[in-house]
Amino acid sequence: MEFVWSVVAFIGEAIEAIFGYAEHHHWLFALLAGGYVFYLHDRSVHARFDALDKRVDEIRRRLAIEY
């Protein structure tokens, strides 16, 4: 039982160390989160332009077939 308690205590101390690091370095995590949001926004913008290009190509093909 003492071994189990030492494992639980070790896990608790590790979690406490992680929270302490995050508390003192929160700017790093904010920077990473902001970069990830920018990355997702950039991907969505590119996806919209790709969809628009496909629509324009389809319209051009249809116009070329009709004439």
Residue 29 CB contacts under 8 Å (≥ 6 apart), including other chains: 22
Q: Provide the pLDDT for residue 67.
A: 58
Q: Identify the helix (H) or strand (E) that includes residue 63.
A: helix 26-66
Residue 14: pLDDT over 90:
yes
Is the pLDDT at 44 greater than 80, yes or no? yes
pTM of the model: 0.47
Residue 38 has pLDDT above 80, yes or no: yes
